[in-house]
Amino acid sequence: MMPVVLWTDALVFLLLAAAVGAGFQVRRRAYLLASWRRVGESRAGMAALLVLLAFAAIGLLDSLHYRPRLADANGRPANGYSTEVRSALDALLRPLRNAAEKTYSAPLATHLYARETVEQPDGTQVRLFPRLKHGGAHLRDADAEWGGDVTWRVLRGLLIAVLAGLTFAFAAVHVAARRWGVRRAQAWRNIRRGETRLAWNAALLTAGLLLLVAGPAVSLAGGYHVLGTDKVGQDVLYLTLKSIRTGLVIGTLTTLAMLPFALALGIAAGYLGGWVDDVIQYIYTTLNSIPGVLLIAAAVLMVQVAIDTRPDWFATAAQRADARLLALCLILGVTSWTGLCRLLRAETLKLRELEYVQAAQAFGAPAARIMGRHILPNVMHIVLIAVVMDFSGLVLAEAVLSYIGIGVDPSTISFGTMINTARLELAREPVVWWSLVAAFTFMFVLVLAANLFADAVRDAFDPRLAGRRNAAAVRERP
């Protein structure tokens, strides 16, 4: 196989490297570490972090792309590579990916959603619901065995989940006991009662819940379509898992794209003042006064025309779709940096008058150095809060934009394209509800976790809330 690094992949891993680097920075600085500890002390924050990590793991797996080697007629590897780009997640989910049916089928169904005319062995034709090729194909008598088989698989999944959860919890307690220097029973009691500094009980509980959902799902996915299939027979569970990466990419890369603009322009406007301030204010007022959706629409149309008229730019369809995804991130970034820029300008205006900046000026430090070394680190909390607060909004925006037709490429699997194709299915009789419900549920969990995490981060880092926090601590003291 030949590894393929799409543009978004490269940026995702750049972001990961930056996050790891930032992690090391935080470890070295006590005041940053204290703020992150406060995030960990929040039970909602810990639970949300764990869910986000699970989503991020899926997204990262889906960001390792390759082109498989072509096989010849006998199945032996041949020269050359397929034009189809796959990811590590595709390889992991191969049974789901390959188990395509003819058309819709309900979750856990054994029969197709629509009637078909089937020829019997004796030559007569009957209209019936044909059996699925993959869903429940291992059952000989589907109607009689279905209930027992599903129950058995759910129980097996739950059992594995419980065992895995207990092992995980035991390992966590063991490690905790070693680190705190207490007996294991004591460590367990501390965690259970929430008497630890970080909210380990919330983390363990969330991990347990995730396992309890994932266990039966994995166990059932071996023989059924857990969330049904869509119009062309693709497994809906596979589609939703693939959608996660698109949502994460849009939520994170957009902020990555806008950050340099917002930081440089915001701080420069606030610190330098004068005509620089006027020009930057003019730029962001102009951008701000264009209705966001229209600016995005105009820009996406342009990108679409540019991509369509130059087919030679891209080797594979995946690379073309990826270029459009990246372009969407950049466009969303360009249209959404103004808010952060204004916040940074206001904060810089305040910092500029503080003694330590004036001392640096008195020492004759150049403006660029003062902005980079003295002001930038002191506005980073605003940047962090803005980044985490924007994430959930961007994930939601992707769905809306894809619905309007100015979102991701129609061939990119995303929550927006899933909802868009599934929306007319509600008009069918009986209703095809599973694609919509699956997309909305996964999106809801992702956005809810992001919102809760953003709240925890804001509470921990916002200095305006710090005063209130200290006041509360003083009041509580006996």
In terms of CB distance, is 199 or 399 closer to other proteins? Answer: 399
Instruction: For residue 470, state whether it binds other proteins (rule: CB under 8 A).
Output: no
Report, in angstroms and rounded to the nearest whole number, the Rg of the chain calculated over CA atoms.
27
3-state secondary structure 109-167: CCECCCCEEEECCCCCEEEECCECCCCCCCCCCHHHHHHHHHHHHHHHHHHHHHHHHHH
Tokens 């889906």 belong to 62
Q: How far is the CB of 462 from other proteins (least distance, A)?
A: 12
Distance between CA 237 and CA 217 in Å, rounded? 9
Instruction: For residue 126, state whether it binds other proteins (rule: CB under 8 A).
Output: no
In terms of CB distance, is 163 or 448 closer to other proteins? Answer: 448
Return the residue of 400, 463, 470, 472 that touches other proteins, per CB under 8 A. 400
Instruction: For residue 444, state whether it binds other proteins (rule: CB under 8 A).
Output: yes
* 450 sits in which H/E element: helix 434-461
Q: Name the residue type at position 361.
A: Q
Q: How far is the CB of 302 from other proteins (least distance, A)?
A: 4
* Site map (CB under 8 A) of other proteins, residues 380-399, x = contact: ------------x---x--x
Q: How far is the CB of 415 from other proteins (least distance, A)?
A: 8
- Chain positions 282 to 341 lying near other proteins, rule: CB under 8 A, are 282-283, 285-291, 293-295, 297-299, 301-303, 305-306, 309
**Residue 381 in contact with residue 461, Cβ under 8 Å?**
yes
In terms of CB distance, is 179 or 464 closer to other proteins? Answer: 464
Instruction: Please state, in angstroms and as integers, the Cα–Cα distance from residue 255 to each residue in 12, 262, 391, 395, 433, following that order.
Output: 12, 10, 8, 12, 34
Nearest one of 116, 113, 109, 100 to 232, comparing CA atoms: 100
Residues 6+ apart with CB under 8 A from 465: 458, 459
Q: How far is the CB of 47 from other proteins (least distance, A)?
A: 13
* Site map (CB under 8 A) of other proteins, residues 238-257, x = contact: --------------------
Helices (H), 42-93: 43-61, 88-92
- Chain positions 413 to 442 lying near other proteins, rule: CB under 8 A, are 415, 419, 423, 426-427, 431, 436, 440
Q: How far is the CB of 234 from other proteins (least distance, A)?
A: 21
Q: Name the residue type at position 175.
A: V
In terms of CB distance, is 144 or 301 closer to other proteins? Answer: 301
Stretch that binds other proteins, among 96-104, 112-120, 362-370, 446-454 (CB under 8 A): 446-454
Instruction: For residue 279, state whether it binds other proteins (rule: CB under 8 A).
Output: no
In terms of CB distance, is 20 or 400 closer to other proteins? Answer: 400
3-state secondary structure (DSSP) of residue 75: coil
**Residue 250 in contact with residue 329, Cβ under 8 Å?**
yes
Q: How far is the CB of 433 from other proteins (least distance, A)?
A: 9
Tokens of 41: 């002390």
Instruction: For residue 456, state whether it binds other proteins (rule: CB under 8 A).
Output: no
Distance between CA 195 and CA 218 in Å, rounded? 34
Q: State the residues that interact with other proteins by CB under 8 A.
A: 282-283, 285-291, 293-295, 297-299, 301-303, 305-306, 309, 392, 396, 399-400, 403-406, 415, 419, 423, 426-427, 431, 436, 440, 443-444, 447-448, 451-452, 455
